[in-house]
Structure 1
Amino acid sequence: MNPVDTTNRIDELDYLRGFGLLGIILINIVFLLSANMPAPNTPDAVYWKFLYLFVEGRFYTIFSFLFGVGFYLFISRANAKGKNGTIFFLRRLLVMFSFGLLHSMYHPGEALSVYAVCGLLILPLYKLKKELNLVIGLILLFAFSWVAIKPLLPIALILLGLTAGQYRLFENIVEKRKQLNWFTSIFFLFTVIALYYQAKQAPLPSREGSLELYWFYHVGIMIGPIISAFYVGLLLVLLQIPIMKKLLTPLKYYGRMALTNYIFQTVFILIANSLLGLYGQLTFLQTLIICFGINIIQLAFSMIWLHYFRFGPLEWIWRMAIYLKVPPLWKKDTAKCQNSIQ
């Protein structure tokens, strides 16, 4: 096995996490505030269709996959430093489950506790050969996607993320530009075909509970991993363009504080509901406006916070619980520690 880089953070993963957060809130707010189903042939109906074609089941899968990549990197880097990566990872899962349990009291559809359980189930596969994990992951993904069992999809996606880590797909991406372009082009074609098929199944949004609506949602879950793969490839391609990478920089900071921002998306939504009484009163387009405001606040806050601090607030607490010691939070404190060592 090739040596694992134990020092450098893979920025592309942070960009992808930040991108995922932008999409996840668009769906979560609809359920948290029980947005009203739109009337047919209205701008609200157009946005409803956009959500279920381009967002629902697309960003959740990206996050599941990225959790798997982080799973591999965390254990491998800990092992490379001479530590027991498995023990640290079990603590990581325990803390994640605890955060998720608390979060689920206010957001029943939250993902952290699901990821923690899936991570525990997949942990024994960490030492398997990457080729075997790839085969198992693809079989599970095909099976769970075909029957559209959304709660089971993270198992396959996390395993495929772990496999991507084993293949070191996200390391030295610049050197894999040609393969990345081919991957993105192929999945673009698959995405066009998949979305065309799902769009043809779209019923009138007001027909809640109908068989047609159920099948529309079912197809959306089935094709979700295809579209998610295209999104990942497209963003990685854009990051190879210097001007685009600079323009998308806020996503990197947003993604570095993914835990904090994910939970505080819920906090902001619930505060807005508490102050304004929004539950059951909003249209789909009005939820988009609220999401836009929350994302702007969080993007700006993440950039400012990480200018002064090494970790997000909840990430810092998470690290304390994992390593059973208080890591330096202020960047200036880290510099002092390094200077004293030198």
Structure 2
Amino acid sequence: MHHDTGRIHELDAVRGFALCGILVVNIWQLTDMAEVRAPGEMVPLRHLLSVLFEGRFFPIFSFLFGLSFALFLNRAAQRTDRPRLILIRRLVALGVLGLVHHQFQPGEALLPYALVGLVILLPATSLPRLAILVAGLAATIGVALTLGGGLALVPGLFLLGLAADRYGLADTLDERTWQLTAVFALALPAAVLTAMWEYRTPYLDLLVSTAPPIAGLLGALTYLTGLLLILRTETGAVLSEVLEPMGRMALTNYISATALILLAEPHLHLSGSDKYGILLCLAAAIITIQAITSWAWLKLFYYGPLEWLWRCITWWELVPARRTPEPVRYR
């Protein structure tokens, strides 16, 4: 039995990429770093990083969750008569893990993901695909224009991920280079203009401004389509070798990053400081550790440690994890 069937390697690489971007924001949130230097004046490097990272990678991660949820449901339906029951168990397990993770990182994503998955995504799977797409677009754009960004965007992005599966986007990704190019060409200038709008919005107005969520979503779309285009080049093939294992172990890497940040904080004293240069060094160190560990781990095992545990609970059986060496064939 080949365990990697059904995996879409480009999406694993994108998930790994999104994880790297989320990490930067998670470090300053978790260590509670200083945002302002003087009243109303942001720390310059934080200001720049906010516009490059904040709200840009979380939407990609959320969209991919909705998409992989749909792909998993399709595979579960081939294996069992009760695929929804399997998915409920999968989401409950994720919620429990999120609840534990929340004790160490308040504001983490797994618990909200599990709840939105149960309350919105699972019921939506029985809707026609056009209804899913319209609801996803309405929720995402509506929230960005009214409530702002962050976790409030999750329901809409989940629905868009589900719609992407229903319209066969994942299966036909290889054939969509010109469409990706067109979306990227439109998204890039829009992302740059809205990022400048966000950058120029006074600090005290940012909380009520629609600039951050709109710029964030356009930035996410630009990063997503841009990376998918890069992955089709020779340079992209090398990049994929690094990002893909990280994306396949996204759950393990997301949670272990929290542990690594908390272990590093007493030595780096980031809390309350404006040492964003050190933050970038820490992010680079964690990404390097996770990239090497993920690559090495997946040479020996089919799944990351938490992915394996999650899979066992989902299917309520002990799933084989260790890769068997290929038999040597003598001529």
Normalising by the residue count of structure 1, what TM-score does the alignment of the two structures yield? 0.88
Equivalent residue, structure 1, for 2:213 = 221
Q: 1:63 aligns with which of 44, 48, 61?
A: 61
2:126 matched residue in structure 1 = 127
Query: 2:82 and 2:52 mapped to 1: Cα distance?
Result: 41
Tell me the amino acid that sits aligned with residue 264 of structure 2.
Answer: A
Q: Which runs of 5+ in 1 are unaligned?
A: 1-5, 204-210, 337-342
What residue is the counterpart of 1:292 in the other structure? 284
Q: CA deviation at 1:325?
A: 1.2
Question: What CA distance in whole angstroms lies between the structure 2 residues aligned with 1:53 and 1:202?
Answer: 13
The aligned length equals: 319
Give matches, 1:42-57, under 5 Å.
45-57=43-55
Query: 1:189: Cα distance to partner?
Result: 2.4
Tell me which residue corresponds to 1:138.
Answer: 137
Deviations 1:219-262 (A, max 9, x none): 21233222111111001111111332223321001000000000
1:198 alignment partner in structure 2: 198
Q: Paired residue for 1:206?
A: none
Q: Report % sequence identity.
A: 34
- Tell me the SS of whatever aligns to 1:127: coil
Q: Any idea what SS the aligned residue of 2:104 has?
A: coil
Shift of the alpha carbon at 1:39?
A: 3.8
**In the alignment, what sits opposite 1:254?**
246
What is the rounded CA distance, in whole Å, between the counterparts of 1:239 and 1:272 in structure 2? 32
CA positional deviation for 1:79: 0.7
Shift of 1:213: 4.2
Shift in Å at residue 177 of structure 1? 1.1
CA displacement 1:114-158 (0-9 Å, x = unmatched): 000111122111021111111111111111000115332100000
Task: Tell me which of 93, 96, 102 is aligned to 1:95.
Answer: 93
Question: Which deviates more from structure 2 when the two are superposed, residues 145-154 or residues 109-118?
Answer: 145-154
Q: Which residue does 1:244 correspond to in 2?
A: 236
Q: Larger deviation: 171-180 or 25-34?
A: 171-180
Gaps in structure 2 of 5+ consecutive residues: none
Q: Residues 184 and 222 of structure 2 are in contact (CA less than 8 Å); yes or no, is this contact kept in structure 1? A: yes
Say which of 96, 108, 111 aligns to 1:110.
108
Whether the 8 Å contact between 1:12 and 1:170 is mirrored in structure 2 is no
CA distance in 2, matches of 1:202, 1:52: 13
- DSSP 3-state at the match of 2:116: helix
Counterpart of 1:248 in 2: which secondary structure? helix
Contact 1:38 1:284 in 2 (8 A): no
Runs of 4+ in 1 over 4 A off after TM superposition: 274-278
Name 1:27's counterpart in structure 2.
25
Secondary structure at the residue paired with 2:299? helix
RMSD: 2.0
CA contact (8 A) 2:55 2:149 kept: no
Give the alignment's TM-score, normalised by structure 2.
Answer: 0.91
